[in-house]
Structure formats: C-alpha cells, structure tokens
Amino acid sequence: MAVRLRMAVHGVRNSRIFHLVAVNQRQRRNAKPIELLGVYNPRLKPGESTKTIEWSVQRIQYWLNVGATPSKTVTKLLQMGGILPAQRTASEAESTPASPTPEAAPQPSA
C-alpha cells in the first residue's frame, strides 16, 4: 500500500480549511485518512499577519521515514516549516553554476 501525505479540503465555500493527512494513494482526496497529521488554515484571523499551520512533526517524520511520499503542496509547506530540506528547482540550478572551473595557469616559457 503506497501512502501519500496530502491535503484534504474541509469547511464551506470561501472559508476552506485543509487537513494534512496520511492516506492511501489510490483513494479520493477527502477519503477517510489513515492518520490526521495537521491542520492548515490559509485564512487570516482579525489582527494576525500570518497564516496558521498546526502539525505533529514527530508523526510527519515517522511517515516520511516509513516511505510516504508528500504531494507537491505538502512538500512546499514542509520545506517552509523546516521539516524537509529546501531543494533547488531546475531553473535555479541552470541560472547559477554549481562551482566555477579553475582556469589553467600559464606555462612559463624557457
């Protein structure tokens, strides 16, 4: 059974809440999850300047170690949270060279 970490949509229209869940890869988006790992609320509460993410780091680490694959959205959130290391995209890798090549020293003429 392939397990995937993905977002399940809950709430009403214009007031969505996303649950970070571990679910069988072949099931629907909002199917019953194996485990609820966290909650992401993209709506700002009055007086707040940041969006809210609440998750269990230990359980996310467990599922990643067992072999669960995160979706693209979950990967971005985990990188922003520091759980996964940030990876460079292909466009960033092309724009900046990995390491400059040393130029050959001129040969002294005798």
Does residue 9 surpass a pLDDT of 80?
Answer: yes
**Interatomic CA distance for residues 6 and 78, integer angstroms:** 11
Does residue 74 surpass a pLDDT of 60?
Answer: yes
Sign (positive or negative) of CA dihedral 22, 76, 47, 17 = negative
**Interatomic CA distance for residues 9 and 22, integer angstroms:** 14
Domains and CATH numbers, the chain: 3-86 (3.30.1320.10)
Q: Residue 29: pLDDT band by 50, 70, 90 thresholds?
A: confident
The pLDDT value given to residue 101: 59
* DSSP 8-class letter at 93: H
**pTM, full prediction:** 0.71
